[in-house]
Amino acid sequence: MNRSRRKPVTLGDFEFVTMLAMLMALQALGIDTMLPALGEIAGDLGAANPNDRQLIIGTYMIGMGIGALAFGFLADRFGRKPVLMAGIGMYCLFSLACMLVQDFTVMLVLRFFHGVVASAGAVVANAVVRDRFEGDRMARTISLIAMVFMIVPVLAPTIGQAILFVAGWHVIFGLLAFLSAVMLVWTGLRLSETLHPEDRQTLQPGRIMLNFRLVLTNRDALGYVLGAALVFGGLYAFINMSEQLIGGHFAQGDRFPLIFGLLAISMAATNFINSRIVERFGARPVSHAALLVFVAAGAGQWAVSTIYPDSLLLFLPFMMVNMALIGFLGANFSSISLQPFARIAGSASSLQTSIRVGGGAALGSLVGALYDGTAQPLGAALFLMGFSGLILVMFSEKGRLFRRRSSTIPLV
């Protein structure tokens, strides 16, 4: 007796964008809901040094980078959906484990693995977008996803602080477990497999190394991947020290969620603007202009934090500009660097995300450890990393910026 096959679900654009944004949001929730609670978590679990609280974020983000290295390859072999479902399920389990932990060192170990499995959502989501779109249309879609996704950093610190008013920090991890369970059900019911059977890759070491070589030796992509790691390093440095900087140095602890949310809104706004203009002007010209302004704003932040270290009114505008420009840089850099890789989009997304996130997280942790009670280390990092990123992008573009090049012919 023949069984009729269930027809694949075709998601509309709105549900497609919202679902992938929420999958990526699970990763961000593991960071942003924690920020108001870092001091309380570190104190309850016996952290020795005030800067140790940053490790609750830093180990998670380093785990994200390492985890990204695996999930894309698995998604190219076994398909997008099963790998995504496994990642969400493990995210739920590690959230529950973190909720029950009673030792700071154990917390850091669990947070590392929490970050490892959190990377599945972002890596597989990027591969799903690459399966469906290419070129500037892909950059536009990633911008729309990022715009919805940016609601999370706007609201998450407020949610975390609200939980602390009525319960302990443990409940924050309980919330993460609940939301991941919701996403597991939604994804299981509505997301169809986007990887064609004929495009599935093997997990043979030789094939993996070939994919590595293709990704790491492609000049068109490499400068953008490494440049993004540097730019995100500056962003992650701010996230690591944001609670100490805003709540401690600038004495705005009660207003921290509001200030952080306003900065995040600037990123959401520029992601929306990018989604509207990128197909008209091109991902390269838009991101090149944004990178030049990012470098200038970083220089301004460094100068202000050195000359007027206690001025919140001068710190915030420069920080808002830098974070806003991430909205133009993140989606466009990701789209440009993925463009040459069609059949191995999962592997390319995996390695590139690992470099961007893992490298950025490591740099952000190093800068965060230099926190000295002022914004000066952050300002220096924003300028130096942005300038270095500009040099790398010029390497990919062979010294010529603002060219709207035709879509790169996919290598594989």
d(CA 396, CA 207): 25
Within-domain flag for 410: no
Within-domain flag for 128: yes
Within-domain flag for 4: no
Q: What pLDDT shows up at residue 343?
A: 67
Q: What pLDDT shows up at residue 125?
A: 82
d(CA 155, CA 257): 8
d(CA 311, CA 190): 49
The closest of 126, 130, 133, 121 to 341, measured between CA atoms, is 130
List average pLDDT for each run of 10 residues in the chain, which is 412 residues long: 51 82 88 89 85 88 86 82 93 96 94 93 80 72 73 82 91 95 92 79 74 84 92 89 87 85 83 81 90 95 94 93 89 84 71 84 87 91 95 90 61 48
Token pair of 309, please? 């270290």
Look up the CATH number of the domain holding residue 98: 1.20.1250.20
d(CA 317, CA 369): 24
> Between the CA of residue 166 and those of 43, 101, 160, 170, 182, what are the distances in Å?
18, 20, 10, 12, 23
Q: What pLDDT shows up at residue 2?
A: 45
Q: What pLDDT shows up at residue 398?
A: 86
The closest of 389, 380, 187, 191 to 299, measured between CA atoms, is 380
Q: What pLDDT shows up at residue 338?
A: 80
Q: What pLDDT shows up at residue 4?
A: 43
Number of domains in the chain: 1
User: Is the CB of residue 112 less than 8 Å from the CB of residue 65?
Assistant: no
Q: What pLDDT shows up at residue 1?
A: 43
DSSP string, 7-69: PPP---HHHHHHHHHHHHHHHHHHHHTTGGGHHHHHHHTT-SSGGGGGHHHHHHHHHHHHHHH
User: What domain range is 171 assigned to?
Assistant: 13-396
d(CA 238, CA 140): 27
Q: What pLDDT shows up at residue 9?
A: 58
For residue 253, give the DSSP letter: T
Q: What pLDDT shows up at residue 400?
A: 84
For residue 200, give the DSSP letter: P
Within-domain flag for 5: no
Token pair of 343, please? 């059949």
Q: What pLDDT shows up at residue 305?
A: 94
Within-domain flag for 402: no
Half-sphere exposure of 303 (CA within 13 A, CB side): 7
Amino acid at 242: S
Cβ contacts of residue 368 below 8 Å, gap of 6+? 51, 54, 58, 236, 237, 240, 241
Within-domain flag for 412: no
Q: What pLDDT shows up at residue 345?
A: 67
Cβ contacts of residue 292 below 8 Å, gap of 6+? 390
Phi, psi of 373 (to 5 degrees): 90, 5
d(CA 99, CA 95): 6
SS3 134: coil
d(CA 130, CA 127): 5
Q: What pLDDT shows up at residue 410?
A: 47
Within-domain flag for 362: yes
Within-domain flag for 380: yes
d(CA 368, CA 51): 8
